[in-house]
Amino acid sequence: MSYENILFEVNQGVAILTFNRPKALNALSPKTLEEVAEVLDLVKKDQGVRVLLLTGAGDKAFIAGADITEFQKMNPLEARQFAERGQEIFFQLEQLAIPVIAVVNGFALGGGCEIAMSCDFIYASDKAKFGQPEINLGIIPGFGGTQRLARLVGRAKAKELCMTAEMIDAQQAKDLGLVAKVFPAEQLMAEAGKVAAALAAKGPVALRAIKQVIDRGCDVDLKSGCALEAESFAVCFASQDAGEGVAAFLEKRKPNFQGTLTN
């Protein structure tokens, strides 16, 4: 399928969604959001996609924020609908069963920072910048920024970043726990691709279980979280992957994971 504002490709189980409005620094328009939603529906249904990468076209921006030209047209009701639709799509991204990596190659501001935080983890270029500058427009983040940022970097730091509109660089973001790894700009996609390929070769059932147990467990007490872990540990043993993984280890060969349950 062809899209107006994004690019999408799949190669050997790794899908890449590229925000493709470089002249607008890949700003998120309502049309772009709907195209993202379409791609996420495709990814969810395609068992051949094992990993999803998100990145931005050009060398300046991942996503520099929402398309501010759209804000002039919005009344309060339309603004609420825009925020709720963006949140719905970002939850859809967050809840994909497969690993999702944000490959941040430049500015990740406003909605760009928010969609990156909806991914499982972030790899960033050493030229990347992060921030929630909505306060400078007299508004606040609307796509989950206040909530995910507070959960990732702590309540006080999230308040400071949202209230001051401070932009932080990739190393600062890593130090705060927002970014997993920082790479030189020219190596970013290659390094992210290596990790994506490695993840695509791992057991899909176990990857899905890890993602679900960590996400759900963080919202409950430790004992309940460990109960979730034990349940998912048992479910893994209902998959062909568990038998294949153990056999491959004992036979000193690489496993061939299929991601299917036993009969």
Active site residues: 114, 134
- Rounded Cα–Cα distance for residues 123 and 115 (Å): 13
* For the chain, the helix, strand and coil percentages under 3-state DSSP, each to the nearest 5: 50, 15, 30
Pairing of strands 61-63, 107-109: parallel
- CB count, 10 Å around CB of 42? 13
Residue pointed to by tokens 């695509």? 200
Tallying the residues shown for the chain, one arrives at 263
Tokens of 103: 């490959």
Which residues, 6+ apart, have CB-to-CB distance to 164 below 8 Å? Answer: 135
- Rounded Cα–Cα distance for residues 136 and 41 (Å): 34
- Rounded Cα–Cα distance for residues 254 and 82 (Å): 47
- Rounded Cα–Cα distance for residues 228 and 206 (Å): 14
Nearest to 203 by CA among 254, 143, 153: 254
- Rounded Cα–Cα distance for residues 124 and 122 (Å): 6
- Rounded Cα–Cα distance for residues 38 and 131 (Å): 27
